[in-house]
Amino acid sequence: MKSMKAIVLSAALTSLAFGAGLEKSRLHGEYVEARTADIFTGPCFANAEVNLMGDLAVFGWRVSKGNFDGVSLDGLGVVGVVKASATLGDVHTNAYPVKSVLIVDERATPEQRMALQKFATRMGGDLMQHVVKVVYAPVDLTVKNNNIHSATATLKAGAIAEITTRAIHDGDHICTNEEVWYQPLTKLDHAMPAYSLAHSYQGDGLGTTWKSPEKRSAFVGTFQLND
């Protein structure tokens, strides 16, 4: 019969072996999104666009450092593009079903590509439940200025999708009653509304392409995931 000490040691080793098989996901980085409707706006402008615009969006993440399911994603990016059934973020209307396209950083290894897809599906939630196409392209997301309140961002996914933003300034206040009308599409640590100088999607899979520049339609933010 085993001694109590042997039983405790065996249980501890079993616990360690089981824990070693559970990969932790810990990563952080930068994020940008843009939609075809203003997100920083007043009630009159929002009401004029609801259910007419805002059903299309591009959003992307760049992992500064970290891993997902034990796979290092340092410096890699992934982009989601969606076409919804109504204005995204409208609390009075169901925007689903939503079709999406994933653009995965072509620099990633096969293992990293799979991890990036799983990461985007996790972070995008319901927006990424019907991915109709996955493509590989160079993904570059650059955020300038460490102060997110005045940050500018540029996202390029090959020739397929693009976002360029600048900080919102006083000249962007039209009715002086503007506020953050819609929340970010994904979970973020911190986000600031921004002005879209460029926002486009020129790829396949969604039955439409678009260019929607010069709108108060973007968010620039940071994210982290600690499982």
Q: Which residues contact 157 (CB under 8 A, 6 or more apart)?
A: 60, 77, 79, 103, 137, 138, 139, 140
- Asked if 65 contacts 74 with a C-beta cutoff of 8 angstroms, the reply is yes
Q: What are phi and psi of 109, to 5 degrees?
A: -70, 165
pLDDT at 9: 41
Please report, as a single letter, which amino acid is at residue 18.
F
Question: What global pTM score does this model have?
Answer: 0.87
Distance CA 51, CA 29 (A): 32
Distance CA 222, CA 31 (A): 6
pLDDT at 22: 54
pLDDT at 146: 63
- CA 181 to chain CA centroid, Å, is 18
- Asked if 59 contacts 31 with a C-beta cutoff of 8 angstroms, the reply is yes
Instruction: Give the tokens for residue 218.
Output: 């973007």
pLDDT at 18: 39
Per-residue pLDDT of the chain (227 residues; tens, 9 = 90+): 445 444 344 444 444 333 444 568 999 999 999 999 999 887 767 777 877 799 999 999 999 999 999 999 999 999 999 999 999 999 888 999 999 999 999 999 999 999 999 999 999 999 999 999 999 999 999 999 766 667 899 999 999 999 999 999 887 777 777 888 899 999 999 999 999 999 999 999 999 999 999 999 999 999 999 98
